[in-house]
Amino acid sequence: MIISFRGKDADEGHLDAFAGIESAAGVARALALIGHYAATGTVRHRYPFDTNVKFFLEGTEEGSFNWKVALSITGSLALGLSTNAVYDLAKLSIGRAIGEEPTAVSAEVQKLNRERGGDIEALIEAVEPALKKAHYGIGETAHEIVIEEINSKKVIIKLDQASKNYLLDSVDGDDDFQDVSVSALNVNDRTGRAYFHDLKRTVPFRVSSDADPETMTVLSRCLDRYANNKPAPTRIWFTRVEAIDGRLKRVIIFKAVDVSDVE
């Protein structure tokens, strides 16, 4: 893959040293977190990371700040992913962290998302601080940072002012309710992810500590149905947490019921 800085100073052939290094370090840390999960099947938030999956800088393209990055796999991976699937795992987790739902990922990653959705949600949360750091140079020394495939030049991820705003700024929205399918749930952390049919994507949630006592039980049953390929809508009542452009970032659930119980 290639990490490319574009716009502002980058188009003049240089970058502000501090802003550029901070952004590059943020991207590198996010990739290290993703690589560790691919290698071990566990989410880690800090060093040391597993060395079976490593991303190496291989220099820059002449006359630009396009840094070539190579993925090295030197041992067996707990998740059994191929090299391309590791790239797609990065595409999925970073994309969701900045409010985008990638539409084309490998069957391996689709299967991983179905079977270990809770892990994917935890990985997204783990990479968010690194991605906030990655955006440090956006607007300061470059307009955008693009991660693209080396041969096809196809854009995998683009970090820009819109994604920076999405990560850094949130506003409390209105209370609402909707019928959803629960695709991931961490009972201990009271967090998870639900599919919103109107948005055609999953949205992270947190269950309020003041939620109705039956909420966690209902969400667990909904997840069981999803895991057994028998998804059925569950109605949730929640408070919206939105990006400044109005996109839904996450919800805080305060009640959930089986739709069949109320209709």
pLDDT at position 207 is 96
Q: Which residue has the higher pLDDT, 236 or 231?
A: 236
Task: Write out the residue range of the structural domain in which residue 243 sits.
Answer: 171-262
Residues 22 and 114 in one domain: yes
Q: Which residue has the higher pLDDT, 62 or 16?
A: 16
Residues 151 and 64 in one domain: yes
Residues 161 and 219 in one domain: no
How many structural domains compose the chain?
2
Determine the residue type at 82.
Answer: S
pLDDT at position 237 is 97
Query: In angstroms, rounded to a whole number, what is the distance separating the alpha carbons of residues 115 and 192?
Result: 14
pLDDT at position 83 is 85
Residues 73 and 183 in one domain: no
Q: Which residue has the higher pLDDT, 155 or 22?
A: 22
Query: In angstroms, rounded to a whole number, what is the distance separating the alpha carbons of residues 132 and 21?
Result: 13
64 has a pLDDT exceeding 80: no
Q: Which residue has the higher pLDDT, 189 or 163?
A: 163
CATH number, position 210: 2.40.50
Residues 122 and 178 in one domain: no
161 has a pLDDT exceeding 90: yes
Centre a 10 Å sphere on the Cβ of residue 256 and count the other Cβ atoms it contains: 27
* Predicted model pTM: 0.79
111 has a pLDDT exceeding 60: yes
Report the candidate in 164, 162, 196, 163 with the shortest Cα–Cα distance to residue 177: 196
Name the band, by pLDDT with cuts 50, 70 and 90, for residue 251.
very high
Residues 161 and 175 in one domain: no
Phi then psi dihedrals of residue 103, to 5 deg: -100, -15
Name the band, by pLDDT with cuts 50, 70 and 90, for residue 31.
very high
Residues 16 and 86 in one domain: yes
- Whole-number mean pLDDT of the chain? 88
What's the longest Cα–Cα distance across the chain?
Answer: 65
Beta strands 248-258 and 191-196, pairing class: unpaired
162 has a pLDDT exceeding 60: yes
232 has a pLDDT exceeding 90: no
Residues 129 and 180 in one domain: no
Residues 14 and 62 in one domain: yes
pLDDT at position 63 is 60
Q: Is the N-terminal amide bond of 48 cis, ω within 30° of 0?
A: yes
Query: In angstroms, rounded to a whole number, what is the distance separating the alpha carbons of residues 7 and 91?
Result: 23
pLDDT at position 219 is 94
Do 254 and 246 touch, CB atoms closer than 8 A? no
Give me 90's structure tokens. Answer: 């990065």
Residues 40 and 157 in one domain: yes
pLDDT at position 135 is 96
Residues 198 and 258 in one domain: yes
Residues 35 and 128 in one domain: yes
- Of 166, 183, 201, the one marking the end of a domain is 166
Centre a 10 Å sphere on the Cβ of residue 202 and count the other Cβ atoms it contains: 22
Q: How many angstroms from the chain centroid is the CA of residue 168? A: 14
